[in-house]
Amino acid sequence: MKIINIVGARPQFIKVAPVTEALNEVLGRKATVKMIHTGQHYNGNMSQIFFDELKIPKPNWNLRIGSGTHGEQTGKMLIEIEKALLEEKPDGAVVYGDTNSTVAGSLAAAKLHILSFHVEAGLRSFNREMPEEINRILTDHASSVLFCPTKDAVNNLKREGITKRGKVYLTGDVMKDALVKNSKIARKKSAIIKDLNLKRKKFLLATVHRAENTDTKRNLENIFNTFMDLKEKVVVPLHPRTRKYLEQYGLLKKILESLMVEIIKPVGYLEMLELERNARLILTDSGGIQKEAYLLKTPCITLREETEWVETVKAGWNKLVGADPKKIYSAARNFKPRKEREYIFGRGSASRKIAKIIEKMVC
Protein backbone atom coordinates (compact mmCIF):
# COMPACT_ATOMS: atom_id res chain seq x y z
CA MET A 1 0.00 0.00 0.00
CA LYS A 2 1.11 3.55 -0.69
CA ILE A 3 -0.07 6.98 0.52
CA ILE A 4 1.20 10.16 -1.08
CA ASN A 5 1.09 13.63 0.51
CA ILE A 6 0.78 16.62 -1.83
CA VAL A 7 2.08 19.95 -0.46
CA GLY A 8 3.65 23.13 -1.74
CA ALA A 9 3.27 26.09 0.62
CA ARG A 10 4.40 27.12 4.11
CA PRO A 11 1.12 26.35 5.95
CA GLN A 12 1.02 22.89 4.39
CA PHE A 13 4.50 22.00 5.62
CA ILE A 14 3.30 22.64 9.18
CA LYS A 15 0.22 20.44 8.63
CA VAL A 16 1.96 17.59 6.82
CA ALA A 17 4.56 17.09 9.59
CA PRO A 18 2.27 15.63 12.30
CA VAL A 19 0.14 13.75 9.75
CA THR A 20 3.19 12.08 8.18
CA GLU A 21 4.45 11.09 11.62
CA ALA A 22 1.04 9.65 12.54
CA LEU A 23 0.70 7.80 9.23
CA ASN A 24 4.10 6.16 9.70
CA GLU A 25 3.21 5.15 13.27
CA VAL A 26 -0.25 3.81 12.46
CA LEU A 27 0.46 2.18 9.09
CA GLY A 28 3.94 0.89 9.95
CA ARG A 29 5.03 -1.71 7.40
CA LYS A 30 1.57 -1.96 5.89
CA ALA A 31 2.10 1.12 3.70
CA THR A 32 4.73 3.47 2.32
CA VAL A 33 4.23 7.22 2.82
CA LYS A 34 5.65 9.46 0.09
CA MET A 35 5.47 13.17 -0.73
CA ILE A 36 5.07 15.47 -3.74
CA HIS A 37 6.30 19.06 -3.23
CA THR A 38 4.91 21.31 -5.97
CA GLY A 39 7.42 24.08 -5.31
CA GLN A 40 4.68 26.71 -4.86
CA HIS A 41 6.82 28.15 -2.06
CA TYR A 42 10.47 27.75 -3.00
CA ASN A 43 12.35 30.45 -1.05
CA GLY A 44 14.56 28.82 1.60
CA ASN A 45 12.87 30.81 4.40
CA MET A 46 9.45 29.75 3.11
CA SER A 47 10.20 26.07 2.42
CA GLN A 48 13.44 24.28 3.36
CA ILE A 49 13.64 25.72 6.87
CA PHE A 50 10.28 24.09 7.68
CA PHE A 51 11.46 20.68 6.48
CA ASP A 52 14.58 21.05 8.63
CA GLU A 53 12.86 22.31 11.79
CA LEU A 54 9.89 19.94 11.66
CA LYS A 55 12.01 16.97 10.56
CA ILE A 56 9.80 16.35 7.54
CA PRO A 57 11.19 13.63 5.24
CA LYS A 58 12.70 14.89 2.00
CA PRO A 59 10.05 15.02 -0.76
CA ASN A 60 10.17 12.14 -3.23
CA TRP A 61 9.10 14.58 -5.94
CA ASN A 62 9.95 18.30 -6.20
CA LEU A 63 8.05 19.72 -9.17
CA ARG A 64 9.67 23.19 -8.89
CA ILE A 65 6.59 24.92 -10.33
CA GLY A 66 7.43 28.28 -8.74
CA SER A 67 5.35 31.43 -9.09
CA GLY A 68 2.98 32.55 -11.85
CA THR A 69 -0.64 33.58 -12.33
CA HIS A 70 -3.19 31.40 -10.59
CA GLY A 71 -4.24 29.70 -13.82
CA GLU A 72 -0.68 29.16 -15.01
CA GLN A 73 0.52 27.83 -11.66
CA THR A 74 -2.47 25.55 -11.09
CA GLY A 75 -2.34 24.23 -14.66
CA LYS A 76 1.34 23.35 -14.45
CA MET A 77 0.78 21.66 -11.10
CA LEU A 78 -2.11 19.60 -12.45
CA ILE A 79 0.02 18.34 -15.34
CA GLU A 80 3.05 17.46 -13.22
CA ILE A 81 1.12 15.99 -10.26
CA GLU A 82 -0.77 13.74 -12.67
CA LYS A 83 2.53 12.46 -14.10
CA ALA A 84 3.82 11.71 -10.60
CA LEU A 85 0.60 9.94 -9.58
CA LEU A 86 0.61 7.84 -12.74
CA GLU A 87 4.13 6.68 -11.94
CA GLU A 88 3.59 6.17 -8.21
CA LYS A 89 0.12 4.57 -8.46
CA PRO A 90 -0.77 5.38 -4.81
CA ASP A 91 -3.75 3.91 -2.95
CA GLY A 92 -4.53 7.33 -1.51
CA ALA A 93 -3.51 10.97 -1.89
CA VAL A 94 -3.67 13.54 0.92
CA VAL A 95 -4.02 17.28 0.26
CA TYR A 96 -3.93 20.09 2.81
CA GLY A 97 -5.56 23.49 3.23
CA ASP A 98 -6.56 25.81 0.42
CA THR A 99 -3.65 26.64 -1.89
CA ASN A 100 -3.25 26.06 -5.62
CA SER A 101 -1.26 22.94 -4.71
CA THR A 102 -4.35 21.69 -2.84
CA VAL A 103 -6.84 22.06 -5.65
CA ALA A 104 -4.41 20.76 -8.29
CA GLY A 105 -3.65 17.70 -6.17
CA SER A 106 -7.31 16.91 -5.49
CA LEU A 107 -8.31 17.29 -9.16
CA ALA A 108 -5.41 15.15 -10.38
CA ALA A 109 -6.32 12.39 -7.92
CA ALA A 110 -10.04 12.57 -8.70
CA LYS A 111 -9.52 12.28 -12.46
CA LEU A 112 -7.28 9.25 -11.94
CA HIS A 113 -9.87 7.68 -9.56
CA ILE A 114 -7.41 7.72 -6.66
CA LEU A 115 -8.91 7.90 -3.17
CA SER A 116 -8.24 11.46 -2.00
CA PHE A 117 -8.30 12.95 1.49
CA HIS A 118 -8.64 16.66 2.28
CA VAL A 119 -7.14 17.79 5.59
CA GLU A 120 -8.70 21.06 6.84
CA ALA A 121 -11.92 20.64 4.89
CA GLY A 122 -15.12 22.65 5.20
CA LEU A 123 -13.67 26.09 5.86
CA ARG A 124 -15.55 28.99 4.27
CA SER A 125 -14.99 32.75 4.34
CA PHE A 126 -17.99 33.22 1.98
CA ASN A 127 -15.91 35.59 -0.15
CA ARG A 128 -15.49 34.09 -3.61
CA GLU A 129 -13.15 36.87 -4.65
CA MET A 130 -10.50 35.11 -2.57
CA PRO A 131 -8.66 32.50 -4.68
CA GLU A 132 -8.35 30.36 -1.54
CA GLU A 133 -12.15 30.21 -1.23
CA ILE A 134 -12.48 28.82 -4.74
CA ASN A 135 -9.75 26.29 -3.95
CA ARG A 136 -11.57 25.19 -0.76
CA ILE A 137 -14.90 24.66 -2.47
CA LEU A 138 -13.48 22.79 -5.47
CA THR A 139 -11.26 20.61 -3.29
CA ASP A 140 -14.08 19.65 -0.93
CA HIS A 141 -16.34 18.66 -3.80
CA ALA A 142 -13.61 16.74 -5.63
CA SER A 143 -12.15 14.85 -2.66
CA SER A 144 -13.25 11.39 -1.53
CA VAL A 145 -12.94 11.98 2.23
CA LEU A 146 -13.03 15.25 4.18
CA PHE A 147 -11.31 15.85 7.52
CA CYS A 148 -12.87 18.87 9.26
CA PRO A 149 -11.07 20.76 12.05
CA THR A 150 -14.23 22.22 13.67
CA LYS A 151 -17.99 21.75 13.99
CA ASP A 152 -18.57 24.89 11.92
CA ALA A 153 -16.60 23.30 9.07
CA VAL A 154 -18.83 20.20 9.21
CA ASN A 155 -21.93 22.42 9.12
CA ASN A 156 -20.60 24.33 6.11
CA LEU A 157 -20.34 21.06 4.19
CA LYS A 158 -23.89 20.08 5.21
CA ARG A 159 -25.18 23.35 3.76
CA GLU A 160 -23.51 22.41 0.47
CA GLY A 161 -25.10 18.98 0.48
CA ILE A 162 -21.97 17.03 1.47
CA THR A 163 -23.35 14.69 4.12
CA LYS A 164 -22.61 11.19 2.80
CA ARG A 165 -21.78 8.72 5.56
CA GLY A 166 -18.08 7.86 5.58
CA LYS A 167 -17.10 11.03 3.69
CA VAL A 168 -17.03 13.74 6.38
CA TYR A 169 -15.17 13.43 9.70
CA LEU A 170 -14.72 15.87 12.58
CA THR A 171 -11.09 15.27 13.58
CA GLY A 172 -9.83 18.45 15.19
CA ASP A 173 -7.04 20.56 13.77
CA VAL A 174 -3.62 19.17 12.83
CA MET A 175 -2.03 22.58 13.39
CA LYS A 176 -2.98 22.17 17.06
CA ASP A 177 -1.02 18.91 17.00
CA ALA A 178 2.00 20.66 15.49
CA LEU A 179 1.83 23.51 17.97
CA VAL A 180 1.51 21.22 21.01
CA LYS A 181 4.60 19.31 19.92
CA ASN A 182 6.74 22.26 18.86
CA SER A 183 5.92 25.13 21.23
CA LYS A 184 8.18 23.76 23.98
CA ILE A 185 10.93 23.09 21.45
CA ALA A 186 10.59 26.68 20.23
CA ARG A 187 11.04 28.05 23.74
CA LYS A 188 14.27 26.09 24.16
CA LYS A 189 15.79 26.55 20.71
CA SER A 190 14.68 29.94 19.43
CA ALA A 191 16.61 33.04 20.47
CA ILE A 192 14.65 35.45 18.27
CA ILE A 193 13.19 37.49 21.15
CA LYS A 194 16.67 38.10 22.53
CA ASP A 195 18.21 38.63 19.08
CA LEU A 196 15.66 41.33 18.22
CA ASN A 197 15.98 42.89 21.70
CA LEU A 198 12.26 42.47 22.34
CA LYS A 199 10.46 42.27 25.68
CA ARG A 200 7.61 39.84 26.32
CA LYS A 201 4.18 41.41 25.65
CA LYS A 202 5.83 44.75 24.83
CA PHE A 203 5.59 44.55 21.02
CA LEU A 204 3.09 43.83 18.26
CA LEU A 205 3.58 41.19 15.57
CA ALA A 206 2.22 41.76 12.06
CA THR A 207 2.06 39.77 8.82
CA VAL A 208 0.57 40.90 5.51
CA HIS A 209 0.50 38.84 2.32
CA ARG A 210 -3.07 38.40 1.03
CA ALA A 211 -3.73 39.64 -2.49
CA GLU A 212 -6.65 41.77 -1.28
CA ASN A 213 -4.11 43.84 0.70
CA THR A 214 -0.91 43.62 -1.35
CA ASP A 215 -2.45 44.14 -4.78
CA THR A 216 -4.19 47.38 -3.81
CA LYS A 217 -1.85 50.28 -3.04
CA ARG A 218 -4.42 52.07 -0.88
CA ASN A 219 -4.92 49.03 1.36
CA LEU A 220 -1.22 48.34 1.77
CA GLU A 221 -0.48 52.02 2.42
CA ASN A 222 -3.31 52.28 4.98
CA ILE A 223 -2.08 49.21 6.84
CA PHE A 224 1.58 50.19 7.07
CA ASN A 225 0.86 53.87 7.78
CA THR A 226 -1.28 52.75 10.71
CA PHE A 227 1.52 50.48 11.94
CA MET A 228 3.81 53.51 11.97
CA ASP A 229 1.18 55.61 13.79
CA LEU A 230 0.70 53.16 16.66
CA LYS A 231 3.70 54.46 18.62
CA GLU A 232 4.45 50.89 19.62
CA LYS A 233 7.06 48.48 18.27
CA VAL A 234 5.61 46.46 15.36
CA VAL A 235 7.69 43.50 14.14
CA VAL A 236 6.93 42.46 10.55
CA PRO A 237 8.41 39.27 9.05
CA LEU A 238 8.04 40.48 5.47
CA HIS A 239 6.65 38.09 2.86
CA PRO A 240 8.53 38.30 -0.49
CA ARG A 241 5.26 39.13 -2.26
CA THR A 242 4.59 42.04 0.10
CA ARG A 243 8.13 43.38 -0.23
CA LYS A 244 7.75 43.37 -4.01
CA TYR A 245 4.58 45.47 -3.85
CA LEU A 246 5.93 47.87 -1.21
CA GLU A 247 8.88 48.54 -3.50
CA GLN A 248 6.60 48.86 -6.53
CA TYR A 249 4.36 51.39 -4.74
CA GLY A 250 7.33 53.38 -3.42
CA LEU A 251 6.42 52.68 0.21
CA LEU A 252 9.29 50.52 1.42
CA LYS A 253 11.88 53.25 2.03
CA LYS A 254 9.59 55.17 4.39
CA ILE A 255 8.77 52.00 6.35
CA LEU A 256 12.42 50.99 6.67
CA GLU A 257 13.21 54.44 8.06
CA SER A 258 10.44 54.18 10.67
CA LEU A 259 11.58 53.76 14.26
CA MET A 260 8.45 51.85 15.26
CA VAL A 261 8.18 49.27 12.46
CA GLU A 262 10.90 46.63 12.34
CA ILE A 263 11.04 44.74 9.07
CA ILE A 264 12.69 41.31 9.30
CA LYS A 265 13.11 38.44 6.85
CA PRO A 266 10.54 35.60 6.84
CA VAL A 267 11.22 33.32 9.79
CA GLY A 268 10.91 29.58 10.39
CA TYR A 269 8.12 27.87 12.28
CA LEU A 270 9.84 27.77 15.67
CA GLU A 271 10.82 31.43 15.57
CA MET A 272 7.32 32.40 14.46
CA LEU A 273 5.79 30.52 17.36
CA GLU A 274 8.02 32.43 19.77
CA LEU A 275 7.13 35.77 18.20
CA GLU A 276 3.42 34.90 18.38
CA ARG A 277 3.63 33.69 21.98
CA ASN A 278 5.52 36.76 23.20
CA ALA A 279 3.63 39.45 21.26
CA ARG A 280 1.06 41.58 23.08
CA LEU A 281 -1.13 41.49 19.98
CA ILE A 282 -1.01 40.04 16.47
CA LEU A 283 -2.18 41.87 13.35
CA THR A 284 -2.47 39.58 10.32
CA ASP A 285 -4.31 38.62 7.16
CA SER A 286 -3.10 35.01 7.43
CA GLY A 287 -5.60 32.27 8.24
CA GLY A 288 -3.12 30.00 10.01
CA ILE A 289 -1.73 32.77 12.20
CA GLN A 290 -5.22 33.71 13.40
CA LYS A 291 -5.54 30.14 14.62
CA GLU A 292 -2.05 30.01 16.16
CA ALA A 293 -2.76 33.28 17.97
CA TYR A 294 -5.85 31.73 19.53
CA LEU A 295 -4.00 28.58 20.55
CA LEU A 296 -1.17 30.64 22.10
CA LYS A 297 -3.57 32.97 23.97
CA THR A 298 -2.51 36.06 22.02
CA PRO A 299 -5.27 38.48 20.94
CA CYS A 300 -5.56 38.86 17.16
CA ILE A 301 -6.61 41.65 14.82
CA THR A 302 -7.42 40.34 11.33
CA LEU A 303 -6.71 42.68 8.43
CA ARG A 304 -9.58 41.29 6.37
CA GLU A 305 -13.33 41.84 6.13
CA GLU A 306 -14.10 38.16 6.73
CA THR A 307 -12.37 35.00 7.90
CA GLU A 308 -12.64 31.25 7.40
CA TRP A 309 -11.77 30.88 11.11
CA VAL A 310 -15.08 32.29 12.35
CA GLU A 311 -14.72 30.31 15.59
CA THR A 312 -11.94 32.62 16.79
CA VAL A 313 -14.16 35.66 16.24
CA LYS A 314 -17.16 34.03 17.97
CA ALA A 315 -14.89 33.15 20.90
CA GLY A 316 -13.95 36.84 21.28
CA TRP A 317 -10.22 36.43 20.61
CA ASN A 318 -10.13 37.76 17.04
CA LYS A 319 -11.46 41.02 15.59
CA LEU A 320 -12.02 41.76 11.89
CA VAL A 321 -10.99 45.26 10.77
CA GLY A 322 -10.12 45.01 7.06
CA ALA A 323 -7.70 47.66 5.82
CA ASP A 324 -9.54 50.56 7.48
CA PRO A 325 -6.92 52.67 9.31
CA LYS A 326 -9.32 53.90 12.00
CA LYS A 327 -10.51 50.38 12.80
CA ILE A 328 -6.95 49.01 12.83
CA TYR A 329 -5.75 51.78 15.17
CA SER A 330 -8.73 51.50 17.51
CA ALA A 331 -8.51 47.71 17.72
CA ALA A 332 -4.75 47.76 18.32
CA ARG A 333 -5.27 50.18 21.17
CA ASN A 334 -8.42 48.79 22.76
CA PHE A 335 -9.18 45.19 21.80
CA LYS A 336 -9.05 42.67 24.63
CA PRO A 337 -10.61 39.18 24.79
CA ARG A 338 -13.48 39.08 27.28
CA LYS A 339 -13.62 35.37 28.06
CA GLU A 340 -11.49 32.26 28.40
CA ARG A 341 -10.73 30.20 25.32
CA GLU A 342 -12.58 26.99 24.52
CA TYR A 343 -11.11 23.83 22.97
CA ILE A 344 -12.59 24.49 19.53
CA PHE A 345 -9.67 22.92 17.62
CA GLY A 346 -9.51 19.64 19.52
CA ARG A 347 -6.90 18.50 22.02
CA GLY A 348 -3.93 17.67 19.84
CA SER A 349 -4.90 14.23 18.51
CA ALA A 350 -6.24 15.11 15.04
CA SER A 351 -3.33 13.60 13.09
CA ARG A 352 -3.71 10.21 14.72
CA LYS A 353 -7.48 10.22 14.10
CA ILE A 354 -6.81 11.00 10.43
CA ALA A 355 -4.20 8.26 10.14
CA LYS A 356 -6.59 5.70 11.68
CA ILE A 357 -9.35 6.59 9.20
CA ILE A 358 -6.95 6.38 6.26
CA GLU A 359 -5.75 2.99 7.55
CA LYS A 360 -9.30 1.61 7.52
CA MET A 361 -9.88 2.82 3.99
CA VAL A 362 -6.69 1.74 2.23
CA CYS A 363 -5.45 -1.30 4.14
User: With pLDDT > 90 as the criterion, what percentage of the chain qualifies?
Assistant: 91
Domain boundaries, the chain: 2-173+347-362, 183-334
Q: What is the pLDDT of residue 21?
A: 97
Q: 116's torsion region: left (phi>0), alpha (psi -120 to 50) or beta?
A: beta
Q: Contact 89/59 with Cβ under 8 angstroms? A: no
What is the DSSP secondary structure assignment for residue 221, as one 8-state letter?
A: H
Q: Contact 315/297 with Cβ under 8 angstroms? A: no
CA dihedral 238, 239, 241, 247 (to 10 degrees): 10
Euclidean distance between CA atoms 291 and 293, whole angstroms: 5
Q: What is the pLDDT of residue 42?
A: 62
209 noted as active-site residue: yes
Per CATH, the number for 183-334 is: 3.40.50.2000
Q: What is the pLDDT of residue 117?
A: 98
Secondary structure element (H or E) that encloses residue 331, with its range: helix 325-334
Euclidean distance between CA atoms 293 and 144, whole angstroms: 31
**In the predicted model, what is the mean pLDDT of the chain?**
95
Q: What is the pLDDT of residue 33?
A: 97
The CATH homologous superfamily to which domain 2-173+347-362 belongs is: Glycogen Phosphorylase B; (3.40.50.2000)
Q: What is the pLDDT of residue 164?
A: 83
Q: Is the pTM of this model over 0.85?
A: yes
- Which whole number is the average pLDDT over 83-87? 98
What is the DSSP secondary structure assignment for residue 44, as one 8-state letter?
A: T
Nearest to 289 by CA among 339, 237, 338, 326: 237
Question: How does pLDDT run across 26-67, given as a tens digit for each residue?
Answer: 999 899 999 999 998 666 556 788 899 999 999 999 999 988
- Residue of 37, 118, 209, 239 with catalytic role: 209
Question: How does pLDDT run across 212-261, given as a tens digit for each residue?
Answer: 999 999 999 999 999 999 999 999 999 999 999 999 999 999 999 999 99
Q: What is the pLDDT of residue 41?
A: 67
pLDDT surpasses 60 at 79? yes
pLDDT surpasses 70 at 122? yes
Q: What is the pLDDT of residue 219?
A: 98
Q: What is the pLDDT of residue 46?
A: 60
Question: How does pLDDT run across 149-201, given as a tens digit for each residue?
Answer: 999 999 999 999 998 888 999 999 999 999 999 999 999 999 999 999 999 99
pLDDT surpasses 60 at 287? yes
Judged by average pLDDT, the poorest of 44-58, 97-111, 127-141 is 44-58
Same fold, 2-173+347-362 and 183-334: yes
